[in-house]
Amino acid sequence: MQEYEAIIGIEIHVQLRTNTKLFCSCPAVYTDEVNTNVCPICQGFPGTLPVLNEQAVKLAVRAALALGCKVNSTATFSRKNYFYPDLPKGYQITTCEHPIGENGIINIDNRSIRIRQIHLEEDSGKLIHMKDESLVDLNRAGFPLIEIVTEPDIREPKEAYIYATKLREILRYIGVSNADMEKGELRCEPNISVHIKGEPFGTRREIKNLNSIKQVEEGIRYEIERQIYMLKKGKTIRRATLLWDEKSKITKEMRRKETEEDYRYFDEPDLPVLCIPHSLIKEQEKQIGELPDDRRDRMLKQYGLEKKDIDILVSRKALADYFEGVMKNSNNVKLTSGFILVELVGFLNERGIKFENNPISQDKLSEIICLMKDGIITRTVARNLLPRISERGSPKQLVKQLGLEKIEGEKELESIVKNILNKHPDEVSRYKEGKSGLFGFFVGEVMKTTRGKANPKVVGKLLKKIIG
């Protein structure tokens, strides 16, 4: 049987986190009212000239270094010429012909995805399509972008998913971008071809409009299946740019590419050659810090947590930083990771608070964990403390004030348990008839009465003793 193989390469555009646009001093904010963060330069008015934002160069160099690229000592800006209403100058200024970084690598599981190049370029504006006219918003025009281009090393949709996830994680770690796909801060454009193993590569088709990493995987999977189906039917695959339709989960042809598009590249005469001094590279190396993979390895060794938990912690720098900060004083890996990943994350999610804006300081949380560790409060009490913890005073004082210390005395608890059982004779008889699920109900009632202070282990023991 013929075995098909997919060849996948990915181009990722990432918006850099700079204060101003790439070639003018407009604020790099496009969520404002349309066409407000614009000036003669980014609107391409006659006679204007670009002036390079050095912060963008620094961030691009940092990204190149973090992805293991060789950073070139010079980069040259070129003009990529094409007509479109959202492109005010009629050309895009890009270093794609002489990029900032080359030959990088990202390791995914057991494989390496090679990165061909990273280049710096400006974003276009946006078209807003109305009923019978289209309007142009240039707030985004001139935004600094880096484009990260892989070699066609990816073979499976899942690999693309892992690659994009890892890349996003790294970019966030080193602080060059928020890389939020829904906001368009990270745009993923995979190109896919399918061929029979051992035969020449097939025709490449590119997918745009993928708004999440999940969609990247889905889009690639769909396209591979579709191309294999076409090939099996003996149909030829046309070169094309496709749009992902998230509603119907299919790709649609946006424009057919009969031939390679001719962008008439030439060196941008308005900008001198960009020199990247060694000192800048050194300075950016220092800014990178520990990368996620290294951190995973270290934390695995240092804390002996399960890989699954480490993966979750490391996936967000703020989360991992927080965990390690709390650990300094709490010194209990299991309690700390469990409490942060379940109770704290749950608490924040319920309130729609981003982890980066977590109101509970590391000190306070480690105090809570110490109270749990020392057997002073139960986990339930600890969780209930979270909403109040941002108030003044230490958790310790709060526990005292509110009398939340754990009740462990069997005598004290026995009367409470008996009381609960007396209040619910029906449930007790049903339990005795075999409805063992009601055991939890009794525990819950005890906890309710004690406001979570009762040691659940002791309560369980007592219940077993009394009702069998």
- Residues in contact with other proteins by the rule CB under 8 A: 40, 43-52, 79, 81, 83, 85, 88-91, 133, 136, 138, 260, 262, 264-266, 269-272
Taking the least distance from each CB to other proteins, the nearer of 43 and 177 is 43
93 binds Zn ion (CB under 5 A): no
24 binds Zn ion (CB under 5 A): yes
Q: How many residues does the chain have?
A: 468
Could you tell me which stretch among 32-40, 235-243, 253-261, 432-440 binds Zn ion (CB under 5 A)? 32-40
Taking the least distance from each CB to Zn ion, the nearer of 37 and 227 is 37
In angstroms, the CA 290 to CA 303 distance is 17
Q: How far is the CB of 21 from Zn ion (least distance, A)?
A: 5
On whether the CB atoms of residues 147 and 118 are closer than 8 A, the answer is: yes
Taking the least distance from each CB to other proteins, the nearer of 1 and 49 is 49
| Among other proteins, Zn ion, none, residue 434 binds (CB under 5-8 Å by kind) | none
Could you tell me which stretch among 25-33, 111-119, 276-284, 422-430 binds Zn ion (CB under 5 A)? 25-33
Taking the least distance from each CB to other proteins, the nearer of 183 and 264 is 264
Q: How far is the CB of 60 from other proteins (least distance, A)?
A: 17
Q: How far is the CB of 141 from Zn ion (least distance, A)?
A: 8
29 binds Zn ion (CB under 5 A): no
Q: Would you give the binding string for Zn ion spanning residues 39-78, x where CB under 5 A is met?
A: x-xx------------------------------------
| Among Zn ion, other proteins, none, residue 49 binds (CB under 5-8 Å by kind) | other proteins
Residue with tokens 């985004």: 140
| Among Zn ion, other proteins, none, residue 52 binds (CB under 5-8 Å by kind) | other proteins
| Among other proteins, Zn ion, none, residue 26 binds (CB under 5-8 Å by kind) | Zn ion
In angstroms, the CA 324 to CA 303 distance is 10
Burial class (CB in 10 A: 0-12, 13-18, 19+), 123: buried
Taking the least distance from each CB to other proteins, the nearer of 115 and 271 is 271
Taking the least distance from each CB to other proteins, the nearer of 269 and 434 is 269
Q: Which of 26, 28, 154, 417 binds Zn ion (CB under 5 A)?
A: 26
Instruction: List all residues 6 or more positions away from 156 whose beta carbon is below 8 Å from its beta carbon.
Output: 6, 8
Q: How far is the CB of 136 from Zn ion (least distance, A)?
A: 14
Taking the least distance from each CB to other proteins, the nearer of 269 and 352 is 269
In angstroms, the CA 86 to CA 309 distance is 45
Could you tell me which stretch among 18-26, 117-125, 267-275, 355-363 binds Zn ion (CB under 5 A)? 18-26
CA distances from 186 to 67, 70, 164, 208, 430 (A): 16, 23, 10, 12, 57
Q: How far is the CB of 171 from other proteins (least distance, A)?
A: 28
**Interface contacts to Zn ion, rule CB under 5 A:** 24, 26, 39, 41-42
